[in-house]
Structure 1
């Protein structure tokens, strides 16, 4: 199996009243590839009815910022002078509220009020003045969170999420399956890896334990995923790790094909990180943490409003010491986010993230292409958690991650907005990493030190226009955009022998690296350029029915000598029996770029053409008073790439299709005021189909690393007699999988249990939180397969404990 990383002017002052006149200007700027960005958001779907409720969690801040977010989430139509909101602060709004109550809450104390007309639209006005007090008086509004969303893992359904070329929609109104995990849940669960972040989602899985280099990436619905975006900027994280959790506000798993949303990529889905932005009101948190046996962390997250229009947020984090698996961790992270309001309708944003990470002495990652399947009876060896037996003490993997972006958001009027973004990402790798070929059921192995240096640079720019128009009695939400992405890759010479050392997973490994390392980079390979144009229309036929149609045209050019142009469609129909329920059906395609076969194959240099995958999905999402749920049935067709041995030589080929069809379900029920119970399950029926005669032996087999069942149960309980204390737990069942497409070697099933607590308390007026978590409570020993290719595996994650003390100022 391959260890080798493969490369894949003058502006008119805006009118102080909401109007449609600047729309033509916006279209012109979009076509020019430039944009400006900004203020109060507008109607989304039909005007919100007075009785409809929605969950909000909008923090206090400048009134124009709070209004922008509220209008975007609620779908409320608001008119009036933008100047009324300038210089005012809003207390924000939290809880399940009607539009009227939400507006009253966020306008409390501002001297303004929102008055509804007969059509359900609102007008922003100065509130009546009480002559006795000389100031505006508004009714007292008491906001209480509804218990249906107090602890639910699916509370994100009502929140808005970026969906690439579909623009920004609530998860509830997006015709695909999406899971969003926010920063608060990441902190509460002590999550440090994608596997831990999405532990409660049975469709999302990574075989890499925490504090290991995430070499092989994530799998969604059984398919491998290499599509990672940070604030919509492509970030190549393959061959070297997760994105730092300290700087993210949320991370979303988009399940299924992403050709329309993001262009060329792998068909399994995408991971989309949203970075922390300034909170507008001064907030600082300080965290210090401990993980066994001696790993220590510190993190400062601070946000400040420099003046009424400028806000910044900075993060500083460090992680030092020894992890549960004997890895020595040396990691430092810094980030800076700046928001600058330029008038009432224009917002400038810039972001910088840098991480320096070195993991020394991590456990081997195993390949099984040389495994004696017949002699082992198709069984894996008994795993060990004596990690000293499966590491090289002075092996290491070092990475540097850099992301820089800037952009503007222009709220043209109450119907249209224009966003422009320019971003750059870089990932540097220095590999002195140990791999091993597992040989038999006794646990013998032969290994080597894989040395290389690599650099992945991506430049990204995009302009996107979003707006609404009415035609023929129907409302249209339009999204149009164009973008450019350039990727350049440099590598050093590679060293990857298979026989530097031998050993057994149950015996201590004495080998130490002694050869000279050369990390000098060779000239960059020819760049890969993607140019794209996209357009989508969400048609609202009435309050219940919506349809979505979209197209993305991509010009993909690998200057090494390959070019293709493809158009990717998406189609969807949504039915909303009420505001909190969506039933949908969708069709989308995914694009995988063509590639040249690597040097280790007999057909090295052969060009494998671009492939198109197809997905159909039917689903339902909903939020009732005490029950949140999401379910989907899906079918994905993907072109298959396999290794074929001919005349004793290995060839890389495209041969046949892999069909992934199945169903997934997630639900969370507020059983009592203090207890929330949840569950999730994914059933997958995956098959290799329509292969050539040369591959007939695997026709009808299950593709590697595709478990038939994954099931999760989770609970969270607020202890009623101890104020501020909550406990949580989750159990996840991973079904057995085949490690190869031949279905000869089975990786056993396992059930892993995690648990933890969170305790809020005060010390001399300072808010503190103590957070504790135990991963793999029962110390279950297991193998975790699921890499990018068949025939790879890791030894699992032993029981480990974390404690964090967090202070907020």
Structure 2
């Protein structure tokens, strides 16, 4: 693990104390060489000069000068130690791929993205959509501190909040959870189908949050932050190794934030993450991780639902996401997240490892929130209030063997194992008040409707999902350039829905569900990979929301297929990737009778490409683009229309500059354009295209003998107003201009 006090991924020069330490090490080595020369070992020293010695010093050693004379005659030497460079694509970063094991992005035959914890801190992200601001394949549909906190679309497909999120590879229910990004080492994104790697999930992709773990170097840091309009935060990061030879490690991260949000809401959040490990023997490691987060927020912006009876050919005029006219302090979202994981890693042989872990996750939500049912282009709406307590639990176990074997001239990289998952969902027995309709209002006038409610409302078990899976993958190295991947996941799947009385209202079960994957990979050179891949996936049957005519019913699982051809390349000064893809997914949408139905397919075809380049010592430029064509096919309705939520074109760019005359100062700017997006399957309403520009600066210095990092960021610099697609037939006003500040000190 790199010491973050001395190195930066951005390629900045090391701090002055490190340069001095490097010079002293160099001087000590040179002095040792002269001493050896005086003892009659000059010839040997000349043949094998000390590491880092230059021609001038080795020549001095060979001349037989005395140590004192040599020190006096040493020429002035300037030692420059550059930090390890890493492009924004991080293609050589190891990432978790579930049933594929751990491999670098470069060796993964699917499109992936990695965002480091340092980048999260530099940009001061506040919600999931911000995490992937530089990825054109990801569209932001999220609002921090609301039930929409983790809503994004990937290649035009929504991500599955119930099965598409992991923490250190373990599943958890993400609904309404704003993660403590300060506690994360990085965020990994697998784009597209994850059925083989992770089991049943919607085909948008899988997000894996990787928490900070104890490394070899001690860490003691404290930072303070401010975000408009008045949210103050404090974060502590402590890491130590202890015991004989540093056998045991512990790392704890604590984050607290409280204050007024940009839309006059309130937030009070406390989060703690604990990571323990023990290197019991040379081959046996054990670990335990825990996360506990309690969050209370109020006054969040309500969801806006474009009803089937909406009158108008376009959406109403845009409004600012900073408005507090749409809701009041009676609306709230209180969440609790708990995750506990324990595992064992054992090195069976030099090329074989066994890893097993078990996790328990619990998330709860107490929410009172409005859905504004939009009626017309003038902005008139009906305020429908939803109130209730929800609980979700996930119990998960996985065991894997990973290693290499040779059969004749071929090398096999094998991963095989098993997984068991038990998931339960509890939802409220009733919503309030009455029919849920509080009254009428207009987007451009204050909403005076209020409904205050307590917590602890009655809930009941609405569904249980059980998965038992066996999986196997084999990557065969045919030559030094060619390799073939084949994988198979075998799943027994059961899903049941229940009434308040406990009676079973719906059930789906199928044994022997097979989801395969295949890939062909070719190394153009050691750090350039061409690949073609195919994967299948199933997603759980959707529980129909109450706003549909068939609310409460459970639909059958849907099967998806993905075809992808791509290239990834990583070099010292530049990196790039590109992919062509086609995804075929069973379509579900509300028909003209407002019944959520499964009918036909939704097709997604597109191109995504990105790259970064370092220009000289100070400039770095990165860009990303996605072209996407989507349509409904083989159904009885909407055939040929664009799929809701899928923008036709997205482009993102980022420029950073290390200011040479102010060492430690880096400034940057990024922009992202999101094209027209259909709001609903009927294809009669669009959000319109919009571009967001963000700027920021980071300054690293030393104060009182400690490393200090000062950060500032302005999001939505132009204060652009726009409608953001959130979900099928749902929209939200985009976030307003916000300013964030942070100061971090390393002890």
TM-score using structure 1 length: 0.80
Residue of structure 1 in register with 2:203 after alignment: 267
> Relative to 1, partners in 2 of residues 1:317 and 1:421: Cα closer, same or farther, differing over 3 Å?
same
The one of 441, 449, 469 equivalent to 1:532 is 469
Any idea what SS the aligned residue of 2:479 has?
coil
Residue of structure 2 in register with 1:454 after alignment: 390
> Relative to 1, partners in 2 of residues 1:799 and 1:595: Cα closer, same or farther, differing over 3 Å?
closer
Distance of 1:600 and 1:152 partners within structure 2: 46
Q: CA offset at residue 606 of structure 1?
A: 5.8
Q: Does 1:306 align with 2:246?
A: no
Q: Does 1:659 align with 2:603?
A: yes
Residue of structure 2 in register with 1:632 after alignment: 579
Any idea what SS the aligned residue of 1:264 has?
coil
**1:543-600 per-position Cα deviation (integer Å, ceiling 9, x unaligned):** 1111100000011112443211311100000000111100000000111123565565
> Relative to 1, partners in 2 of residues 1:768 and 1:372: Cα closer, same or farther, differing over 3 Å?
same
> Relative to 1, partners in 2 of residues 1:138 and 1:573: Cα closer, same or farther, differing over 3 Å?
farther
Distance of 2:154 and 2:8 partners within structure 1: 35
Correspondences of 1:514-533 after superposition (within 5 Å): 514=452, 516-517=453-454, 519-525=456-462, 527-533=464-470
**Does structure 2 retain, via aligned residues, the 8 Å contact 1:214–1:242?**
no
Q: Does 1:153 align with 2:99?
A: no
Residue of structure 2 in register with 1:562 after alignment: 508
Residue of structure 1 in register with 2:136 after alignment: 202
Any idea what SS the aligned residue of 2:330 has?
coil
Residue of structure 2 in register with 1:162 after alignment: 96
Residue of structure 1 in register with 2:369 after alignment: 433
Residue of structure 2 in register with 1:316 after alignment: 254
Q: Does 1:361 align with 2:304?
A: no
Any idea what SS the aligned residue of 2:106 has?
helix
Any idea what SS the aligned residue of 1:261 has?
helix
The one of 690, 694, 701 equivalent to 1:754 is 694
**1:756-803 per-position Cα deviation (integer Å, ceiling 9, x unaligned):** 01000111211100000000000001110131xx21011110000000
> Relative to 1, partners in 2 of residues 1:93 and 1:427: Cα closer, same or farther, differing over 3 Å?
closer
**Does structure 2 retain, via aligned residues, the 8 Å contact 1:451–1:517?**
no
Q: CA offset at residue 621 of structure 1?
A: 0.3
Q: How many residues align?
A: 674
Correspondences of 1:474-553 after superposition (within 5 Å): 474-495=410-431, 497-514=435-452, 516-517=453-454, 519-525=456-462, 527-553=464-490
Residue of structure 2 in register with 1:172 after alignment: 106
Correspondences of 1:71-90 after superposition (within 5 Å): none
Distance of 2:539 and 2:346 partners within structure 1: 34
Q: Does 1:726 align with 2:670?
A: no
The one of 378, 400, 413 equivalent to 1:442 is 378
Question: Relative CO higher for 1 or 2, CA cutoff 8 Å, sep ≥ 6?
Answer: 1
Greater alpha carbon shift after TM alignment, 495-504 vs 351-360: 495-504
**Does structure 1 retain, via aligned residues, the 8 Å contact 2:366–2:455?**
no
> Relative to 1, partners in 2 of residues 1:294 and 1:604: Cα closer, same or farther, differing over 3 Å?
closer
> Relative to 1, partners in 2 of residues 1:509 and 1:653: Cα closer, same or farther, differing over 3 Å?
closer
Q: CA offset at residue 603 of structure 1?
A: 4.6
Q: CA offset at residue 242 of structure 1?
A: 2.8
> Relative to 1, partners in 2 of residues 1:533 and 1:246: Cα closer, same or farther, differing over 3 Å?
same
Q: CA offset at residue 132 of structure 1?
A: 8.6
Residue of structure 1 in register with 2:562 after alignment: 615
Residue of structure 1 in register with 2:716 after alignment: 776
Residue of structure 2 in register with 1:29 after alignment: none
Distance of 1:556 and 1:132 partners within structure 2: 77
Q: CA offset at residue 607 of structure 1?
A: 5.5
Q: Does 1:467 align with 2:411?
A: no
TM-score using structure 2 length: 0.86
**1:409-432 per-position Cα deviation (integer Å, ceiling 9, x unaligned):** 111221100000010111101011
**Does structure 1 retain, via aligned residues, the 8 Å contact 2:130–2:140?**
no
Residue of structure 1 in register with 2:152 after alignment: 218
Q: CA offset at residue 500 of structure 1?
A: 1.0
Any idea what SS the aligned residue of 2:325 has?
helix
**1:159-209 per-position Cα deviation (integer Å, ceiling 9, x unaligned):** 111111000111001000000001010001101211111000011122123
> Relative to 1, partners in 2 of residues 1:599 and 1:797: Cα closer, same or farther, differing over 3 Å?
closer
Residue of structure 2 in register with 1:346 after alignment: 284
Residue of structure 2 in register with 1:140 after alignment: 51
Residue of structure 1 in register with 2:29 after alignment: none
Residue of structure 2 in register with 1:383 after alignment: 319
> Relative to 1, partners in 2 of residues 1:414 and 1:792: Cα closer, same or farther, differing over 3 Å?
same
**1:134-170 per-position Cα deviation (integer Å, ceiling 9, x unaligned):** xxx99536998879x746311x101111111000111
Distance of 2:465 and 2:668 partners within structure 1: 46
Greater alpha carbon shift after TM alignment, 189-198 vs 244-253: 244-253
Distance of 2:38 and 2:253 partners within structure 1: 47
Correspondences of 1:661-680 after superposition (within 5 Å): 661-680=605-624
What's the C-alpha RMSD, in Å, of the aligned pairs? Answer: 2.6
Distance of 2:657 and 2:10 partners within structure 1: 19
Correspondences of 1:17-32 after superposition (within 5 Å): none
Any idea what SS the aligned residue of 1:353 has?
strand
> Relative to 1, partners in 2 of residues 1:567 and 1:628: Cα closer, same or farther, differing over 3 Å?
same
Q: CA offset at residue 354 of structure 1?
A: 0.5
Structure 2: gaps of 5 or more residues: 12-24, 26-35, 41-47, 54-78, 498-506
Q: CA offset at residue 708 of structure 1?
A: 0.4
Distance of 2:145 and 2:455 partners within structure 1: 25
Residue of structure 2 in register with 1:81 after alignment: none
**Does structure 1 retain, via aligned residues, the 8 Å contact 2:561–2:583?**
yes
Distance of 2:49 and 2:456 partners within structure 1: 67
Greater alpha carbon shift after TM alignment, 181-190 vs 592-601: 592-601
Asked which structure has the greater CA Rg, the reply is 2
Residue of structure 1 in register with 2:65 after alignment: none
